[in-house]
């Protein structure tokens, strides 16, 4: 992209921190995208990747950094962490719940080996309390403060009365100084275990998003950019960095949501399926009448259904850096892609040089393929305090892994150690390098970013692997790489159809696995022929979209549009969005003639419905406006919606409950 004449007025800087790349774009309302750049995401120190992309944009545009009036960022870090099962160790405090509640909504699975404490207490549906007893927490606080990175607190019916969550939160903060997430801060919806799950995941992500925002703020300060910093939320709205720091769970699907806003801006299409392929994930969503569809049940990421309002986005562990495996037990095994991300061998060699190449060459000289061929481990480079709570076996193995890649065939001596290594990877402490579709693209000359020699050596090792007949699965590295890229295109079509079927109310995975659908996608010829088409075009996003989506239109039976600035769609979407926050008040009737308003932390009783409704509307309008200002809105416009539930009994109207929702929205503040 060529730098254009510099327009008048403030400029916006959009940044997208993805799993593999960090993108930056300089945008003006008058001139559009003025300059764009990419740099590798540096997970151990995110500021390095951000600096690489932003400095390149500033150099290309030649503008004075002080002219930037707004910085806005989207990120796939939270999404990737949940998909890959990563995040800090968290203590979950459940008030008024029992052990049996862990079995609901995937809470026990999400908790894993992290500690949980049950306290007597909580409230009923009208906000009346059961006395809180913190004795069990007090006895554990000191030890937990040294072994976890954050706390999550969820109390029974906290959405009707958050007093017990607030009491626990304040005590934990006072005793440990660690971040604490309380469930009522994240959702006003009923369903304790799912709210606890959402709170747990939020607490896991706090340190991750905090590091990202701190790195960005430090970098901007160093460059003399004093503009407000905004972050894209999962529903496509913008919020201030401070707001996102407290509620990082709301940034899951931030990158994909920004890409939808960017796709709409770049193509002008109101109705489309947007498929965004990155290094780690492919994110598919539907644009309807110019707006992304919002998931009414809450976002699902990494197999967990949360209470986060976000775009109805389906996230698949499929990308340029997906792990490649072979189907188990088949005579002619298919290639299996994802869901785990590996560091491509070409990138590992680009970053670490000869140590990777020599390891691959040594393995190729072996007469027979080895189980760990083409695999290396190295430390992620995050601070040592995040390694708290490792088992003895994990600590011993972690001690043998350093910043330089070490081949797994020399590192691991038993199958049990592979499980130990995988736990270190899931904690985000260690990266695995291996053969990926990005490597296949390098071998075939379709990508020239990193080290092609390492990619070809890795492909050669993989091609030696045996099928069910004991034959090598490919004759040459090139033949294997063509199969890999074809498999990625084929899987991309599958995930788009899976999303379309699910949006149409069907079981997406089961339908796309049906023999008739598979025949239609593969274009198999027979007496009975099947074809499958979409009712709208596909917008292909992501730096590798021009490569991987070249044949996608044929596979999905619809036009596939890859916009010119597709590689920075997320960064562009980050700066053209709006701040939008909502707040909810409830009016209930605990007793005849008593109307109770619950709005935020305020609970008040009234003798009649009219007075209660007026107070609920006034209070929630103020809360929404304050939240919008805290989220960075310039002049928020507030819209109220009343949902009054009543019944007629023997000709008399009976009030049951009312929900008053306030939505405040506006453009972000821009530094002049």
90-207 CATH? 3.40.50
The bridge status of strand 430-434 relative to strand 538-541 is: unpaired
Question: Among candidates 279, 275, 277, which has minimal Cα distance to 439?
Answer: 279
Residue 43 binned pLDDT confidence (cut-offs 50, 70, 90): low
Contact 34, 191 (CB under 8 A): no
Q: Which residue has the tokens 């430090």?
A: 218
Q: Which of 74, 269, 249 is nearest to 179 (CA)?
A: 249
CA distance 543 to 529: 35
Please give the pLDDT value at position 434.
97
Which range among 243-247, 372-376, 426-430, 590-594 has the greatest average pLDDT?
372-376
Give me the pLDDT at residue 671, please.
62
Q: What share of the chain is helix, strand, coil (3-state, %, to 5)?
A: 40, 25, 35
Cα distances (Å, whole numbers) of residue 57 to 2, 47, 449, 565: 11, 15, 19, 14
Tell which residue, 37, 31, 29, 19, has the closest CA to residue 571. 37
Q: Output the pLDDT for position 7.
A: 66
Q: Per-residue pLDDT averaged across 22-45, rounded?
A: 84
What is the mean predicted confidence (pLDDT) over 624-632? Answer: 91
Residues sharing a CB contact under 8 Å with residue 103, sequence separation 6 or more, in sequence order: none
pLDDT surpasses 80 at 20: no
In which element (H, E) is residue 617 found? helix 609-630
CA distances from residue 628 to 91, 583, 584, 624 in whole angstroms, order as listed = 30, 10, 14, 6
Is the model more confident about 571 or about 482? 482
Q: What percent of the chain has pLDDT over 70?
A: 98
Indicate the pLDDT class of residue 5, thresholds 50, 70 and 90: low
Residue in 311, 300, 70, 81 with CA at minimum distance from that of residue 194: 300
pLDDT at 479: 96
Choose between 91 and 669: higher pLDDT: 91
pTM for this entry: 0.70
The phi, psi pair for 620, rounded to 5°, reads -75, -30
Q: Which 3-state string (H, E, C) describes 557-592?
A: CCCEECCCCHHHHHHHHHHCCCEEEEEEEEEEEEEC
H or E element in which residue 644 lies: strand 637-649
Asked if residue 588 has pLDDT above 80, the reply is yes
pLDDT-based confidence at residue 2 (cuts at 50, 70, 90): very low
Predicted confidence (pLDDT) at residue 396 exceeds the cutoff of 80:
yes
The overall average pLDDT reported for the chain is 89
pLDDT at 672: 55
Contacts of 311 by beta carbon, 8 Å cutoff, 6+ apart: 234, 235, 236, 253, 256, 257, 260, 285, 292, 293, 294, 295, 299
Q: Is the pLDDT of residue 664 over 50?
A: yes
User: Which regions of the chain carry the CATH code 3.40.50?
Assistant: 90-207
Alpha carbon of 649 to those of 112, 123, 199, 646, 656: distances in Å? 49, 29, 40, 10, 12
The answer on pLDDT for 3 being more than 50 is no
pLDDT at residue number 1:
43
pLDDT tens per residue across span 105-148:
889 988 888 999 999 999 988 888 899 999 999 999 999 989 99
What phi-psi label fits residue 112: left (phi over 0), alpha (psi between -120 and 50 degrees) or beta? left
Q: What is the pLDDT of residue 446?
A: 94
Out of 27-41, 258-272, 333-347, which region has the weakest mean confidence (pLDDT)?
27-41
4: pLDDT strictly greater than 60: no
What tokens were used for 158? 């906290």
670 pLDDT above the threshold of 90: no
pLDDT exceeding 90 applies to what percent of the chain? 53
Rg of the chain taking only CA atoms, in angstroms: 26
Q: How far apart are CA 240 and CA 237, in angstroms?
A: 10
Structure tokens at 469: 């007949």
Give me the residues paired with residue 13 across strands. 26, 71
Q: What is the average pLDDT across 313-333?
A: 89
C-alpha to C-alpha distance for 448 and 53, rounded to whole angstroms: 18
**Tens-digit pLDDT profile for residues 202-243:** 888 888 888 888 888 988 999 999 899 999 988 888 999 988
Q: How do residues 596-626 score in pLDDT, each as one tens digit?
A: 999 888 889 999 999 999 999 999 999 999 9
Confidence of residue 298 (pLDDT cuts 50, 70, 90): confident
Specify the 3-state DSSP secondary structure of 231. strand
pLDDT tens column, 487-497: 999 999 999 99
């Amino acid at each position: 992209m060529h730098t254009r004449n510099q327009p008048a007025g403030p400029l916006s800087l959009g940044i997208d921190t993805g799993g593999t790349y960090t993108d930056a774009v300089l945008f003006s309302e008058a001139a559009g995208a003025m300059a764009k750049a990419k740099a590798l995401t540096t997970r151990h120190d995110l500021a390095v990747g951000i600096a690489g992309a932003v400095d390149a944009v500033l150099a290309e545009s030649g503008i004075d950094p002080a002219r930037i009036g707004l910085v806005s960022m989207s990120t796939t870090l939270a999404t990737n962490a949940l998909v890959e099962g990563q995040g800090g160790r968290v203590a979950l405090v459940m008030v008024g719940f029992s052990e049996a509640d862990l079995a609901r909504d995937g809470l026990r699975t999400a908790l894993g080996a992290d500690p949980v404490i049950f306290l007597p207490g909580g409230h009923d549906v009208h906000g009346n309390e059961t006395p809180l007893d913190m004795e069990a927490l007090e006895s554990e606080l000191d030890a937990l403060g040294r072994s976890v990175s954050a706390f999550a607190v969820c109390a029974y019916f906290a959405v009707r009365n958050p007093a017990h969550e607030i009491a626990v939160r304040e005590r934990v903060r006072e005793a440990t100084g660690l971040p604490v997430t309380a469930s009522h801060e994240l959702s006003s919806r009923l369903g304790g275990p799912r709210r606890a799950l959402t709170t747990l995941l939020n607490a896991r992500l706090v340190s991750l998003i905090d590091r990202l925002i701190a790195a960005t703020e430090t970098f901007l300060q160093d460059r003399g950019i004093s503009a407000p910093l905004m972050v894209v939320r999962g529903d496509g709205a913008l919020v201030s960095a401070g707001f996102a720091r407290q509620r990082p769970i709301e940034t899951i699907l931030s990158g994909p949501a920004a890409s939808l806003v960017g796709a709409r801006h770049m193509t002008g299409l109101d109705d489309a399926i947007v498929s965004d392929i990155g290094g780690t994930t492919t994110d598919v969503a539907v644009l309807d009448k110019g707006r992304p569809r919002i998931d009414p049940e809450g976002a699902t990421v990494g197999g967990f259904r949360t209470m986060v309002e976000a775009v109805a986005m389906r996230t698949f562990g499929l990308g340029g850096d997906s792990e490649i495996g072979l189907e188990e037990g088949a005579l002619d095994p298919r290639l299996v892609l994802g869901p785990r991300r590996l560091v491509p061998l070409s990138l590992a060699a680009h970053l670490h040089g000869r140590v990777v190449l020599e390891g691959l060459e040594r393995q190729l000289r072996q007469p027979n393929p080895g189980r760990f061929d083409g695999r290396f481990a190295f430390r992620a480079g995050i601070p040592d305090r995040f390694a708290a709570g490792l088992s003895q076996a994990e600590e011993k193995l972690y001690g043998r892994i350093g910043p330089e890649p070490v081949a797994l065939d020399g590192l691991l001596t038993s199958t049990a150690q592979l499980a130990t290594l995988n736990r270190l990877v899931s904690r985000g402490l260690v990266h695995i390098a291996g053969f990926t579709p990005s490597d296949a693209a390098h071998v075939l000359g379709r990508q020239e970013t990193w080290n092609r020699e390492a990619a070809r050596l890795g492909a050669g090792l993989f091609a030696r692997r045996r099928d069910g007949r004991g034959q090598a699965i490919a004759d040459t590295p090139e033949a294997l790489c063509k199969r890999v890229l074809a498999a990625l295109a084929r899987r991309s079509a599958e995930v788009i159809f899976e999303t379309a079927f699910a949006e149409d109310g069907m079981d997406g995975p089961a339908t796309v696995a049906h023999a008739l659908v598979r025949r239609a996608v593969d274009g198999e010829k027979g007496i009975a022929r099947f074809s499958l088409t979409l009712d709208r075009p596909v917008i292909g996003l992501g730096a590798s979209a021009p490569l991987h989506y070249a044949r996608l239109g044929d596979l999905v039976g619809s036009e596939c549009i890859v916009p010119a600035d597709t590689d920075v769609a997320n960064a562009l979407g980050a700066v053209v969005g709006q701040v939008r926050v909502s707040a909810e008040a409830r009016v209930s009737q605990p007793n005849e003639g008593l109307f109770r308003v619950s709005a935020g932390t305020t609970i008040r009783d009234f003798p009649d419905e009219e007075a209660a409704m007026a107070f609920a509307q006034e209070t929630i309008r103020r809360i929404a406006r304050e939240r919008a200002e805290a989220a960075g809105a310039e002049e928020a416009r507030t819209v109220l919606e009343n949902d009054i539930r009543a019944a007629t009994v023997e000709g008399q109207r009976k009030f049951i409950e009312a929900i008053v929702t306030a939505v405040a929205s506006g453009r972000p503040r821009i530094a002049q």
